[in-house]
Chains A and B, each alone.
Chain A
Amino acid sequence: MSNLEVWDGTISQKDFYVAARTLVERWKQVNPSLPQWTWIPSKSTLMGSSCKEEGYLSLENMFHIDRNEECLIVDSFSEREETDDVATLVHSTSNETHIYDFHIVYSFSYKVPVLYFHGYQSDGQPLSMDEIENDLPPSSSKILRESKWTYMTLGEHPYVRRPWYTLHPCATSDWMKLLLGGTSMKDLDISSYLLSWLSVVGQAIGLRIPLELQQRSVKHPSASCFIINN
């Protein structure tokens, strides 16, 4: 591949591994108190041998707490004669805790990362697509409904081998090309691919990505510090 070629927005499986390492390290620096991204190596490759550079990223046990906010609007101008304790006027809020798992998997056919995710109630009951859409902030719902660059669908998770929800990757290389493609091929910093990718995907699924994650100039520890989860 010559340096004059225009980048097409895709990455190799090896690039994905490098980008994954960067995401793990940067997330740990910026969000140390949140659940962490972990690299899950695949147990076997197509050839039957194991390779630590093949696998996927996992972020699990992200809690979404749904407070029924309508119940919090207390009629403070009620004409009751006695002074009621405000607390008794409020209906008990239905604090339903939903738990989400996010996986970032490399797609060999599209040559880009793909997000797989699912949610479940605290008793383990899986969430339906409607329930998940209900959890999304309005801006995310809008993106999923109206944008031309992704939509939510059900797909078989290639490693877990069960249907998980996923954001379709067909336009990913186009918008990644916009985000990272301003430079020539030789200056392309593939290691930050997932940081850029996550800024877009996070908005679609209501996953808050702090601004600090995008600061490229901060030098981070080298690969020797990377710990692979067994």
Chain B
Amino acid sequence: MAAESPTSERKVVVHLRATGDAPILKQAKFKIAGSDKFLKVIEFLRRQLHRDTLFVYVNSAFSPSPDELVIDLYNNFGFDGKLVVNYACSMAWG
């Protein structure tokens, strides 16, 4: 019986940052299991902001696929003990 990998039990601190005219969350920092997918962060944002169309990205300049594991994102792009996730709402059109 293999012991559970410590990496998968690890929690990651996520800091949600509003950009542009997106509303700022009252609770912008939270912990999430490293083994969770990024989809969970996206869905959390959608619920909190009551909006379905959000542009969500990490400051190293890309938008993570919802399938990415939070721990992988943190290990590669986190700093200062947290993963900063930016979100924007409106996008100019036309």
Per the bound structure, the CA–CA distance linking A196 and B63 in Å amounts to 7
**Hey, what's the 0/1 contact readout for B42-83 against A, CB within 8 Å counting as 1?**
000000000011010101111111101000110011000000
Distance of B89 from chain A, by nearest CB (Å): 9
CB of A182 closer than 8 Å to a CB of B: yes
Contact residues, A91-150 vs B (CB, 8 A)? 139, 146-149
Contact residues, A183-211 vs B (CB, 8 A)? 192, 195-196, 199-200, 202-203, 208-209, 211
Distance of A28 from chain B, by nearest CB (Å): 19
Per the bound structure, the CA–CA distance linking A178 and B88 in Å amounts to 8
CB of A171 closer than 8 Å to a CB of B: yes
Contact residues, A143-162 vs B (CB, 8 A)? 146-149
Residues of B within 8 A of A179 (CB): 57, 61-63
CB of A66 closer than 8 Å to a CB of B: no
Size category of the A interface is 20 to 34
CB of B86 closer than 8 Å to a CB of A: yes
Beyond A146-B52, A175-B55, whether A196 also contacts B92 by CB under 8 A is no
Distance of B88 from chain A, by nearest CB (Å): 6
Per the bound structure, the CA–CA distance linking A192 and B63 in Å amounts to 13
| Cross-chain contact A216 with B60 (CB below 8 angstroms) | yes
| Cross-chain contact B62 with A178 (CB below 8 angstroms) | no
Residues of A within 8 A of B73 (CB): 211
CB of B2 closer than 8 Å to a CB of A: no
CB of A170 closer than 8 Å to a CB of B: yes
| Cross-chain contact B52 with A178 (CB below 8 angstroms) | no
| Cross-chain contact B57 with A148 (CB below 8 angstroms) | no
| Cross-chain contact B91 with A148 (CB below 8 angstroms) | yes
| Cross-chain contact A215 with B53 (CB below 8 angstroms) | no
Beyond A139-B66, A192-B61, whether A178 also contacts B86 by CB under 8 A is yes
Contact of A203 among B19, B63, B77, B86 (CB under 8 A): B63
Q: Could you list 7 further interchain pairs (A-B, Cβ under 8 angstroms) beyond the known A175-B55, A214-B77, A215-B60?
A: A149-B91, A171-B93, A175-B91, A178-B20, A195-B62, A199-B63, A200-B63
